[in-house]
Amino acid sequence: QAVVTQEPSLTVSPGGTVTLTCGSSTGAVTSGHIPYWFQQKPGQVPKTLIYETINKFSWTPARFSGSLLGGKAALTLSGAQPEDEADYHCFLSYSGILVFGGGTRLTVL
């Protein structure tokens, strides 16, 4: 099974910009991996932020955006807010088999 990698932890200053990435052990991530991004705050159910690389839901704050960057899927947060402190998870699809990364703990400090 493929391994999906994420940064274990990142820190961003309030108002700052940070990019989280989602890489694949099989090589470059493409739109064919159908990347998704999720936010999970302590004690809460995950929330789906981005689907199919770049698409947002009605509840996704505009400061979040998805892309492909340097052979990885990326989630960029522009203008970080204290409430963005959370765990962020991604998954990639391998011919319909989904594999999650280990998650990134984002600290806003």
Pick the closest to residue 53 from 94, 13, 9, 93 (CA basis): 93
82 three-class SS: helix
Of 45 and 62, nearer to another protein (C-beta) is 45
Of 19 and 48, nearer to another protein (C-beta) is 48
Residue pair 80/17 in contact by the 8 Å Cβ criterion: yes
Of 52 and 71, nearer to another protein (C-beta) is 52
Quote the least distance from Cβ 44 to another protein, whole Å.
Answer: 10
Judged by the rule CB under 8 A, the positions of this chain that interact with another protein are 1, 36, 38, 40, 45-48, 51-52, 55, 57, 87, 89, 91, 96-103
Quote the least distance from Cβ 23 to another protein, whole Å.
Answer: 15
Q: Is 74 exposed, middle or buried (0-12, 13-18, 19+ CB in 10 A)?
A: buried
28: Cα within 13 Å, side-chain hemisphere: 6
Quote the least distance from Cβ 96 to another protein, whole Å.
Answer: 5
Of 76 and 105, nearer to another protein (C-beta) is 105
